[in-house]
């Protein structure tokens, strides 16, 4: 299973980011290989549609679970259509979060915001 988590840095000890489209990095964990990959978020520098861009990236790399604090409705619509499981982020290290996602003990994300309409960078 491939799990994606937005992070502030590009290593395993990084803190998680509360944003999705404008998080600096996106961490992808492969639960079969048990390895981590860190990518610069393709959405971060976009003036608009950052969440859509990040969601497209996640879907394209085969993300099956996403752990986020909050998500815009556009990105949520895409991820739901791609059958990605959406989990609500809780406090904890990256390793703890993926463990909880694997055991499905994280709460599901059900509320989605309306988007920041080009003001998400502030």
By CB under 8 A, name the binding residues for another protein: 43, 46-50, 52-53, 55-56, 59, 74, 77-78, 81-82, 115, 117
Q: And the tokens for 83?
A: 């059958």
Q: Give the nearer residue to another protein in terms of CB position, either 26 or 94.
A: 26
Q: Which of 110, 97, 78, 122 is nearest to 36 (CA)?
A: 97
Least CB distance to another protein at residue 109 (A): 18
Of the pair 25, 49, the CB lying nearest another protein is at 49
Cα distance between residue 105 and residue 85, in whole Å: 12
- Least separation, in Å, of the C-beta of 44 and another protein? 12
């Amino acid at each position: 299973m491939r799990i994606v988590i937005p992070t502030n840095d590009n290593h395993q000890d990084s803190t998680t980011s509360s944003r999705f489209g404008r998080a600096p990095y996106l961490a992808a964990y492969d639960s079969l290989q048990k390895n981590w990959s860190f990518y610069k978020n393709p959405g971060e520098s976009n003036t608009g549609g950052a969440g859509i861009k990040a969601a497209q990236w996640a879907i394209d790399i085969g993300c099956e679970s996403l752990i986020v604090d909050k998500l815009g409705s556009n990105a949520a619509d895409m991820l739901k259509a791609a059958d990605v499981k959406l989990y609500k982020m809780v406090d904890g290290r990256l390793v703890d979060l993926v463990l909880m996602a694997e055991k499905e003990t994280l709460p599901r994300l059900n509320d989605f915001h309306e988007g920041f309409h080009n003001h998400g960078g502030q």
